[in-house]
Structure 1
Amino acid sequence: MDTQNPSVPPHAQARLAGNKHPNRAHRTTGGLQHDNTRHTTRFTVIGNHLAQHRELSLLAIGLGTHLQSLPKGAPADIKTLAARFPEGATRIAAALRELETHGYLRRECVRTSTGRIVTRTISCNQPAAARHPAEAPSRTTAGPQPQPQPQEACEERTPRETREQRAPRKPLPAVPRPECNVPALFRAAADLLADLHRHEPRLLLSTADTAHLTPGVAAWLERDVTPAAVRRALTADLPPEGVRRPAAFLAHRLADQLPPSPPFPFRAPAAAPPPPVRHPLRNCDGCDRAFRSPDSDTRCRDCRTDIQRAA
């Protein structure tokens, strides 16, 4: 009779009341439910600090998860990712910048044994643990500390491309200007540039870029070039590797391919003539037929003709 049951708690536990019970939030009938099966092969461990990040966009979270799942040495440049996913190069570049800002991505320029400069893209699964030694907190214990295992992917770049990335952005090239200052001409040029990305998604322009390029497009329109022809000239034969800076590319093309001036000066389109006056309907005093006439006429044309013949 002195055998004790080890499963019985030594003291009675107080019952948690109300909403303080830890499992209270999981007893609701609605909300998200999980049907999980344990992975045994081909899986990646992703921290909730990335999957549930409050500042990263959904695209950045998904792209960070994809990068952490890639093997070492896999290509991770913008061109490769844009070919893999439907979001396009612009949105993928923005998502990579988000990951880089929050420490989930690092880009380092290194020189290979052959002298080539390459950009090494490093995906960090725990940014807080991958801080530089100067930023890491002091430790009282000696010995080597464990380091996170980053997943690396190298993107080859020439030394000239690396210098262009580090150097400050150069001002846009000058564009031609029209000889006449017609507001309708500049308005048509600005509308053409704002609509350009609908015909070529790689030529998405900012407000400042549009303001800089508008005089150049206006100079083309002044030379009696139709908007459709200007659009074809700006979007045709783009480089196969893409356009690094669309505004600079368009500024060079506007100046380099400027057509000659027409033999006659540009004239703004004449204003449309006013619509004809439409008199109200009224009934003829002679035959009671409806006709349109100013207030001075009380009879239709036939009745007026009959009166004139009778006189």
Structure 2
Amino acid sequence: MDTQQNTALTRALAEVPGPLPTSGVIHITLPHTDRFTIVGNHLAQHPDLSCTAVGLAVRIQSLPQGTEVSIKALTARCKEGEKRIAAALRELEAHGYLQRSRNRLPGKKVITRTVFCNQPAALPHPRRQTPAPVPLPAAVPADPFPVPAEHQPQPQAQAQMQAQVQSRAHAQDPDPRPAPVPPPPPAPLPVPTPPAPHFVPLVPLVPPPTAPKPPRPPLPQPIRLTPELDRAATALLSDLRRHAPQFTLSEDDIRHLAPAVAAWLERDAHPDIIRRTLTDDPPQPLRHPVKLLKHRLTALLPPPLPGACELVAPARPHVTVTPFQTCDDCDRAFRSADPGCCRDCRETRAAYAPAAA
């Protein structure tokens, strides 16, 4: 019994016509008689505007004409902070609901003019400006009673009527002034023709089958093919079919590949490592085993092992340190390769030597 019930809302819900939905929102629509604002669903259900921007747009639309809608003024009216209000105004400005421009008044005061449109999609598209009509001379009064088109006078009669009207105007004006010459109509602006579309030729990512293929790198060759290296390379290639039957080679293929295997053996590669490198993880199905062996023998060739002298750390440069000596006269320490006197004592001895002589 402690739960409050809104009996008025319950009675209004009972008067809703038709069956009520089992889930979702139920609308109780009561007509407004005063203080209401019409908001379109294009704004209330805009898929790209945030709820803050939609609510701020409804608040601005409900304000009377001339109300200040700056960020400071909206912050004083709403609970949101300045950053959220500024972000919502930028959203409305990006979708055409809001437009802000800075204008300079005659007194050199700059103001920000804010324009809000409740339905930007319905605005007419701007048309091309047409030249303004040429104004009539001030001395010729307009005819208050226009004549229908079928009763218009001929060109000669019309010229006579204009001359009579001008003579009457000169008679009424004691100080007639020459009628201003109407400016010539402005020449129509040339409509710029759109530039021809620039088509960028498509560069094929894959070369055509007829394109020349780059030459394949040659098989590695040993520096010196000795009979021992040739015999070991031939035996290794002939023994591949024991470990991988798909690598069964002919005699010509073995003679062709033996120098490349000899280059591997010359660089101190172990036969087991060579066999594992050549036969490990082949493509399935393997259609060209000789081509695969050529590629692996060429692309995976290891570098030669470094020598013993190359693995030794470089010696540090020898730095000669001059030892300290003790002066025979003043017992002061100084650096010198030979014992004796310091510089000051040597200069003093040199100065007194002529006097003693």
Specify if TM > 0.5. no
Q: TM-score, normalised by structure 2?
A: 0.29
Q: Which has the larger radius of gyration?
A: 2
Q: TM-score, normalised by structure 1?
A: 0.34
